[in-house]
Chains A and B, each alone.
Chain A
Amino acid sequence: MPFEELEDVTSADIALRIFGGTVGELFVSAGEALRAVMLGGAARRAEGMEISFELRAESIEMLLFSFLNELLFHKDSSALLVSPTVVDVDHGPGGASLRCAAVAERIEPALHDFIVDIKAVTMHRFSVCYENGAWTATVVFDV
């Protein structure tokens, strides 16, 4: 999986380091990581429908923060698990924006055995950085 759990950061919540070769891949990995911590990496997928959404933020960090929150919003408001497939990200000194193509599955208790529910994305140790040709994010989810 394109992420690893950081076990020494928090006892009640879940801290992850997430990787991507490109910034778009980082965002896709973050979406996969969110799904995997809630359901386990090998969880089955239901039949899904294609959706897309766009977001803007003042920085690449805040864009990732908003992006993950958007996925949580779909989970709670519409009982949809949204898995990003392609994320196109533009960023620069003036801000950052993305267009995300994703598959949305309806939550089905018979199929989706949740390990935990993620309530929120925290700003504790939240970071996005580009180093040695790869993108890395650190995220602590509130459980």
Chain B
Amino acid sequence: MKPEQLQNISEYCYEIPKSARKGMRVPARIYANAELIRSMDDAVFEQSVNVAMLPGIRKYALCMPDGHSGYGFPVGGVAAIDPEDGGVISPGGIGFDINCGIRLMATSLTLGEVREHIQPLVDRLFARVPSGVGAAGEIVLKGSKLDEAMVKGARWAVQNGYGDQEDLEYCEENGCMDGADPQAVSQKARERGKNQTGTLGSGNHFLEIQVAKKAGIHDEKTARAFGVDRDDQILVMIHSGSRATGHQIATDYLQRFLSVQQRYGISLPDRELACAPLHSDEGQAYFGAMNCAINIAFLNRQLIMHRVREVFADHFNKSPRELGLRLIYDVCHNTAKLENHEMEGKTLKLLVHRKGATRAFAPGMKGVPERYMPYGQPVIVGGSMETGSYLCTGTAPARESFYSTVHGSGRLMSRTQARRRFNGRDLQRSLSERGIHIRTASFSGLAEEAGGAYKDIDAVVGAAFGAGLCAPVARLVPLGSVKG
């Protein structure tokens, strides 16, 4: 479906009106420039229309400029749902990798100091941070210890010696989501993820050493406030999620919602959108379990960051503090959160589903760390290992998108197309010639993550900026990457 009814609202916004399909409760809006909208697969429009049919949805079904086809929601899909109006919670609007997200660390190191160390550093990170299928972490969480971790998230890690109190200040929700209910997590979910805490995973998950070059700084004042404060500064980016615990929680509740949604009078065109009212027993149970998975993901990224600190400290024979290994921020991608939003002069508590999208709070908003309050929430946009990533910031006009923005470049090619086009070992060689050292658990998987398989990240961030969803602060260039 590339709807005839797709209307160009502005340079960076397209709308499918509510009248386009029976059952739509609100229009669907896709943020993109003309080229990005042409590159989007038809399923993005179809899936956005389906999202617009969810009970309780307010204002618009949204899709961000990095949007591409998913299941249920498109990847990049955002829906703000009013629980007081029969609004639902849908695992398909969150994704199986609950709280897949990115954290970005600053260092006090510069490219000149690190250039000769990239290869050994990446090799040591690859050895120290388990990645790929079947890799087990060093911490096995079971029983009451797992319950505690599911409630405390990154705070559990800090309390057990894996990080500093200050780290928590620089995570969304301070690394610990309220409302986690371990009783709502099945034995299967507990069992399935027990060995995966502190592991990177596979697919598009990565651990990357990057440099912020002077020419890539878009907003020097905000960059300094975030801790990017010297020329050619080295940063470390971590992309991972809640691992198999989150996958199983989403699976469990997808099944459960399929069997109960009819009872609530809900019928939707895609069964992956299966849902239940938030104010129902099933909705509350999933909300509690999902918050457990959100916390497991915070904990996972905190443990990985701790290993990064150990590797750098050991390699340079200096303490993490001496190396300036400080967390800039940790953002979530796949969540549903209760947030206050202004609509028609009223403050509503809405359940904002973001699937492959990032929360982007504006300057002065509650939830932004004190240090960043005048600048907005850091938004970390993970790009491919070839082309680079972005550090951005939240902006006031993003109220239109319920303070949501892009999360990455967005796929352009299917995985199979990418595998046909690129060869993992050749890619590793050619990147090495360009000074980017890659270690991977899977060369076939590496081919799927080639830069050419993704959209142009400069265009994606440019469109997000043009639409007022966030503002670029610094472009980050990859130097070395551990791929799952």
Contact = CB atoms under 8 A, between A and B. Distances in A.
Given A77-B191, A107-B133, A58 B259 contact: yes
B250 A120 contact: yes
Given A75-B133, A76-B244, A115 B444 contact: yes
Contacts of A1: none
Interface residues of B, number: 55
Given A38-B133, A114-B202, A124 B270 contact: yes
Given A12-B415, A76-B192, A77-B194, A123 B133 contact: no
B270 A14 contact: no
A85 B401 CA distance: 50
A40 B412 CA distance: 23
A128 to B, nearest CB: 13
A121 B97 CA distance: 12
B271 interface: yes
B443 A112 contact: no
Contact of A65 (B97, B255, B444, B445): B255
Contact of B134 (A11, A109, A122): A109
B272 A124 contact: yes
B271 to A, nearest CB: 4
Contact of A123 (B272, B416, B444, B448): B272
Contacts of B156: none
Given A12-B415, A38-B133, A76-B192, A114 B441 contact: yes
A116 B134 CA distance: 12
B2 interface: no
A116 B202 contact: yes
Contacts of A117: 132-133, 201-203, 484
B464 interface: no
Interface string B55-75: 000000000000011111001
A69 B248 CA distance: 9
Contacts of B71: 10, 13, 122-124, 140, 142
B68 A11 contact: yes
B448 A116 contact: yes
Contacts of A116: 202-203, 415, 442, 444-445, 448
Interface in B406-440: 411-417, 419
A11 B442 contact: no
A140 B43 CA distance: 14
A50 to B, nearest CB: 21
A14 B254 CA distance: 19
A115 to B, nearest CB: 4
A7 B43 CA distance: 12
B31 interface: no
A73 interface: yes
Nearest to B202: A117
Contacts of B416: 5, 7, 14
A135 B75 CA distance: 31
A140 B382 CA distance: 25
A142 B271 CA distance: 15
B203 A40 contact: no
B188 interface: yes
A10 B270 CA distance: 14
A69 B191 CA distance: 14
Contact of B192 (A7, A62, A77, A122): A77
A12 B254 contact: no
Contacts of A69: 251
A43 to B, nearest CB: 10
B305 interface: no
Given A73-B191, A79-B134, A114-B444, 19 more contacts: A7-B417, A9-B69, A10-B70, A11-B41, A11-B412, A12-B68, A12-B75, A13-B415, A72-B247, A76-B195, A76-B196, A77-B195, A112-B134, A113-B442, A115-B442, A117-B132, A120-B251, A124-B272, A142-B97
18 contacts: A72-B247, A76-B193, A76-B248, A77-B191, A79-B134, A109-B135, A114-B133, A114-B442, A114-B444, A115-B442, A119-B97, A120-B247, A120-B250, A122-B72, A123-B92, A123-B254, A142-B97, A143-B203
